[in-house]
């Protein structure tokens, strides 16, 4: 196989794996019983999925600037997801009476 075909194959495999993690995270949000389990599914699976997709797209990047943008997008998503999950979990712990009603 040529080098071009190997990079295309790596892109397809990594992007496909990332999509599987996104699907797993989405299923976890629907199927898990409580808020904290859902937050875990959302932050862990989706961050890994985005990282794999960014890595797959990185094989198609032509310049270092494009690679830098992909890394920045992933880093900002990691930071935002962790921060939002922390805020939601703290709010849920602060209002335990509302948590039981909000789960279903």
Q: Structure tokens of 62?
A: 């032509």
Run of H or E including 25: helix 3-31
In this prediction, residue 98 carries a pLDDT of 53
pTM score of the predicted model: 0.81
In this prediction, residue 76 carries a pLDDT of 95
> If you average pLDDT over every residue of the chain, what do you get?
88
Question: Measured between alpha carbons, how far is 21 from 61 in angstroms, rounded to an integer?
Answer: 22
Q: What is the pLDDT of residues 24-68, one digit of tens each?
A: 999 988 999 988 899 888 888 999 999 999 999 999 999 999 999
| Most trustworthy range by pLDDT among 11-15, 80-84, 90-94 | 11-15
């Amino acid at each position: 196989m040529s080098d071009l075909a190997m990079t295309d194959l790596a892109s397809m495999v990594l992007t496909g794996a990332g999509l599987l993690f996104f699907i797993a995270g989405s299923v976890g949000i629907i199927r898990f019983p409580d808020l904290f389990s859902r937050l875990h599914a959302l932050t862990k699976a989706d961050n890994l999925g985005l990282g794999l997709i960014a890595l797959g797209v990185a094989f198609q990047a032509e310049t270092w600037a494009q690679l830098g943008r992909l890394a920045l997008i992933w880093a900002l998503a990691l930071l935002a997801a962790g921060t939002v999950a922390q805020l939601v979990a703290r709010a849920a712990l602060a209002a335990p009476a509302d948590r039981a009603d909000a789960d279903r």
